[in-house]
Copies of this chain bind each other. A is one copy, B any other.
Amino acid sequence: MTSPLDLTGLDLLVRVAETGSVGAAARQLGMAQPNASRLLAKLERQLDLTLLVRTTAGSRLTTEGEVVVAWARDALAGVERVLLGARSLAAQRKAHLTVASSLTVAEHLAPRWLARFRREHPDLHVSLDVGNSHHVLERVVSGRVPLGFVESPTVPRTVASTTVARDRLLVVVGPTHAWARRRTPVTAAELVGSDLVLREAGSGTRETLVRALDLAGHALGEQRLELASTAAVKAAAAEGGAAGVVSELAVAAELATGQLVAVPVADLDLSRSLRAVWSPERRPEGPAAALVRLARADAQASPSSSV
């Protein structure tokens, strides 16, 4: 709880593991060697562990140090994704390739694509233009952007598309909710009659749900609790007595740790496809085509699980 939340020490530790030297690791990070030494000592003090064996000819990891390094690499990769993604959001100006993307894709798939893409084309700056499905399609047909990704169940005939992955909406509740231990599926009628927390109207997730309910002959009431962000929906569902409806991609981690429980649902088809879309006159080529390939390959490499 009262943790520093500063990863510099862990970054340093990982580099010590790779180079075998505190000084070399310090140079990689552009800091002076004494600071690195101090920082590592502080890290050991805070974690109450001895991570390194300092010899006068370098430093080696202890067993515990190795374990911590493995964990730290994951954590650092996570913040690397944040920073890389943020740069892709910001660098509209100097971007060589701009791709429009719906929220679900940007939130949960784009980080891996960006990391991989950057590695294969280190000289190319990719920029993300995030908006709802309508926004993405508009950008593509207007030619402002050569490629887009949407999670709509259908796309208009004005654009060409290919499915790169599949997605599914889940009904999730906190572990204390009555539905958490339920084994018989919840019906669509029960769903519309219960307390639900949802994204606001206009979100792709919400539209998919409304459409599925419509096909089943049901309609959402008006008294739903609407929240501004997916994070808020998840937090509300985890805490309170209401059920949330979110993409399976958004809750993989929470399901794994048990913070949220998925409720089986009958009568409703909540799956949808994630599509790459482009203007028919401008078929993706070069980097854009590579990105589509990469996205499809990534999706089938990890069908549903994620971070």
Interface residues of A (CB under 8 A from B): 2-3, 5-8, 10-11, 14, 17-18, 20, 30, 47-49, 60-61, 63-79, 81-83, 85-87, 89-90, 103, 106-108, 110-112, 115-116, 119-120, 128, 130-131, 228-232, 235, 250, 253, 256-259, 298, 301-302, 305-307
Contact = CB atoms under 8 A, between A and B. Distances in A.
Contact of A89 (B68, B106, B257): B68
Contact of A69 (B3, B81, B229): B229
Given A5-B7, A17-B228, A66-B103, 14 more contacts: A2-B30, A5-B8, A10-B79, A17-B229, A17-B231, A17-B232, A48-B86, A63-B103, A67-B107, A68-B85, A69-B230, A75-B79, A78-B79, A115-B257
B75 A256 contact: no
A301 B11 CA distance: 30
Contacts of A48: 86, 90
B81 A71 contact: yes
Nearest to A66: B229
Contacts of A306: 305
A104 B302 CA distance: 21
Assembly stoichiometry (copies): 2
Contact of A66 (B10, B71, B107): B107
B67 A85 contact: yes
A108 B253 CA distance: 15
Nearest to A48: B90
Contacts of A305: 301-302, 305-306
A180 to B, nearest CB: 13
Nearest to A65: B229
Contacts of A257: 112, 115-116, 119
Contacts of A67: 85, 89, 103, 106-107, 110, 128, 130
A246 to B, nearest CB: 11
Contacts of A307: 74, 77-78, 307
Contacts of A301: 256, 305
Nearest to A135: B63
A280 to B, nearest CB: 27
Contact of A70 (B72, B74, B107, B235): B107
A128 to B, nearest CB: 8
Contacts of A3: 83
A65 B106 CA distance: 11
A293 to B, nearest CB: 13
Given A83-B3, A111-B71, A307-B307, A230 B66 contact: yes
Given A8-B5, A60-B228, A257-B116, A68 B86 contact: yes
B6 A230 contact: no
The 9 closest A-B pairs by CB, nearest first: A75-B78, A70-B107, A78-B78, A17-B231, A18-B235, A48-B90, A47-B86, A302-B305, A71-B82
A28 to B, nearest CB: 10
